[in-house]
Structure 1
Amino acid sequence: MVLGLLLAAFGFGSSAAAGDIATLEPIGFSQDGDLFAYQESGIQDGSGFPYAHIFVLDLNADRFVDPSPVRVLLKDEAASVADAMSEARAMVAMLLAERLADPRKGEVVVENLPTDLSADPKTARFVPRAILPPIDDPIELRLSTFALQGPEFCEAETRGFRLARIALVAGAATSVLHEDTGIPVSRSCPLDYGIRQVRIYEKPSGGFAGVALLTVTSRGFEGPDIRHIALPVPLD
């Protein structure tokens, strides 16, 4: 839905829509549920160069674990996405071996594909386990966007986002999980955001680890580009 609206808004017809939608590939959670890692890759819009990014997120501190994030761009049209991913993997090999040697994928409880025009990319309501009838309280995440000054090189309006967990049960309070106060250069010039996926991992020690993977849509050289960011979703 996000992609379709942007194509229409910017006048990109189906034959001219040559923007770059990164391929999202979650690596998984650490066994204790403290870390989550994912990667994205593709061919850069305009240049034709392959790229690969790897992120390892500390879910408790809501920060990246060094040496991530790793971003590789191979300025060679003869190179492949696999080449870029191999280089990126080598840069975080020690971290993955020490902290994510046997990652747990967790469960996908929400999935909004870029091709699904019926999905609501701004709202996700789910339960953390596939048990019928459900024994867990429902959880709702709501994403909203607002105008926010972007990097100096952005010529048009850019937008930030707010992600909130909505109170659905008596006695609970709505909480803001993230609210932008600035836009990092790594996002380029963002135009919109969407909830791409929610993953939940049931920890061996009890409780759940959760992460929301969001799309970041920005205007690229030939059309809208989509990258991904991850945010912890506290569930305990």
Structure 2
Amino acid sequence: MKQRLIIGGMFAAAVAGLPGISLAGDIASIQPIGFSADGKVFAFQEFGIKESDKAPYSETYFIDTDSGQYLEGTPFRTELTDKDANLSKARRQNLTAARSQMDKYDLLTNPGLIAAFNPPTELGSPTKTLRYTTLAADGPPKAPYTLSLGELPVSTPKECTAVDKRVIGFSLQVIEKEGAPNRQAARQATAVPAERTCSVEYRIGGAVVYQPEAGNQVHIALVLAFDAERNGRWIAVPVHP
């Protein structure tokens, strides 16, 4: 039922794709769709306008939260090149293609909680750590979690040999769990999927949390991967603290 190790894209933040940002490439926006009732499946839509040819694109990913792999037959990808193409049309077509899978897992019923978001437009924020709580409430943070992002060396794939920067993978650790120090290796990405193969930099950009009625919480770490042209694409990493 699973195809390949993902670490692949996510999260609804229109600000992430704002024009006028100082980066040269395009940074995708990302919209979480939701979880299956048991938390075993998570989906999100990533979308934007390509800097190279101005083509609108939209992609919907379905992830097995145990393995971190794409579900079989996914993701759904849409890119429009016709003269009347626009982002709205690309997103609608893409969601229509993905709708049967969304309904199969009843994802719109379980949106989860956007516990933290740290886009590249957020000035002065850490790029490698993220601290959040799993309860949406005022007052002092209750039982917070902290994620820490590291970089890992990887062998340069042949399709990336022309890249003039070092291609890298990443690691993710839970260094704080419910307010206590922790050293849990959540996920190591020594080999990233094809669409993220030539990544040269990563930023930890957010977290989504879901509590199934029966079972443990599921955390989704949102990682933004940059290629050498400064195009940014999202990676959704399942975490089980």
Q: Report the 3-state secondary structure (helix = DSSP H, G, I; strand = E; otherwise coil) of the residue aligned with 1:92.
A: helix
Structure 1 residue 150: Cα displacement: 3.4
- Rounded Cα–Cα distance in structure 1 between residues aligned with 2:218 and 2:120: 25
Is the 8 Å Cα contact of residues 43 and 107 (structure 2) preserved in structure 1? no
- Rounded Cα–Cα distance in structure 2 between residues aligned with 1:120 and 1:197: 11
- Rounded Cα–Cα distance in structure 2 between residues aligned with 1:22 and 1:135: 30
Q: Report the 3-state secondary structure (helix = DSSP H, G, I; strand = E; otherwise coil) of the residue aligned with 2:127.
A: coil
Structure 1 residue 148: Cα displacement: 2.1
Residue 103 and residue 168 in structure 1: after superposition, are their counterparts in 2 closer, same or farther (change >3 A)? Answer: closer
- Rounded Cα–Cα distance in structure 2 between residues aligned with 1:34 and 1:110: 21
Name the TM-score, length of structure 2 as normaliser.
Answer: 0.80
> How high is the sequence identity, in percent, across the aligned residues?
28
Residue 52 and residue 179 in structure 1: after superposition, are their counterparts in 2 closer, same or farther (change >3 A)? Answer: same
- 1:200 partnered with 2:209: yes
Is the 8 Å Cα contact of residues 35 and 107 (structure 2) preserved in structure 1? no
Structure 1 residue 131: Cα displacement: 4.5
Unaligned runs of 5+ in 1: 1-13
- Rounded Cα–Cα distance in structure 2 between residues aligned with 1:59 and 1:152: 30
2:109 aligned partner, one-letter code: P
- 1:100 partnered with 2:106: yes
Structure 1 residue 29: Cα displacement: 1.6
Is the 8 Å Cα contact of residues 31 and 100 (structure 1) preserved in structure 2? yes
Structure 1 residue 67: Cα displacement: 2.1
Q: CA offsets, 1:9-51, max 9 Å, x none? A: xxxxx79744111111111122222211101111112111111
- Rounded Cα–Cα distance in structure 1 between residues aligned with 2:220 and 2:155: 26
- Rounded Cα–Cα distance in structure 1 between residues aligned with 2:219 and 2:147: 12
- Rounded Cα–Cα distance in structure 2 between residues aligned with 1:227 and 1:170: 31
Q: Report the 3-state secondary structure (helix = DSSP H, G, I; strand = E; otherwise coil) of the residue aligned with 2:158.
A: coil
Name which one, 1 or 2, has greater alpha-carbon Rg.
1
Residue 59 and residue 97 in structure 1: after superposition, are their counterparts in 2 closer, same or farther (change >3 A)? Answer: same
Q: Tell me what 2:47 maps to.
A: 41
Is the 8 Å Cα contact of residues 150 and 182 (structure 1) preserved in structure 2? no
Matches within 5 A, 1:147-186: 147-154=153-160, 155=162, 156=164, 157-166=166-175, 174-186=183-195
- Rounded Cα–Cα distance in structure 1 between residues aligned with 2:151 and 2:189: 9
- State which of 85, 94, 98 in structure 2 corresponds to 1:88: 94
2:207 aligned partner, one-letter code: V
Q: CA offsets, 1:145-166, max 9 Å, x none? A: 1332333222222111010112
Name the TM-score, length of structure 1 as normaliser.
Answer: 0.82
Q: CA offsets, 1:186-228, max 9 Å, x none? A: 11421111111101122222542211111011123xxx11110
Q: Higher mean Cα deviation, 77-86 or 132-141?
A: 132-141
Q: Report the 3-state secondary structure (helix = DSSP H, G, I; strand = E; otherwise coil) of the residue aligned with 1:60.
A: coil
- Rounded Cα–Cα distance in structure 1 between residues aligned with 2:240 and 2:113: 15
- Rounded Cα–Cα distance in structure 1 between residues aligned with 2:176 and 2:122: 27
- Rounded Cα–Cα distance in structure 2 between residues aligned with 1:204 and 1:234: 16
Q: Higher mean Cα deviation, 39-48 or 146-155?
A: 146-155
- Rounded Cα–Cα distance in structure 1 between residues aligned with 2:21 and 2:129: 30
- Rounded Cα–Cα distance in structure 2 between residues aligned with 1:227 and 1:79: 21
Unaligned runs of 5+ in 2: 1-19
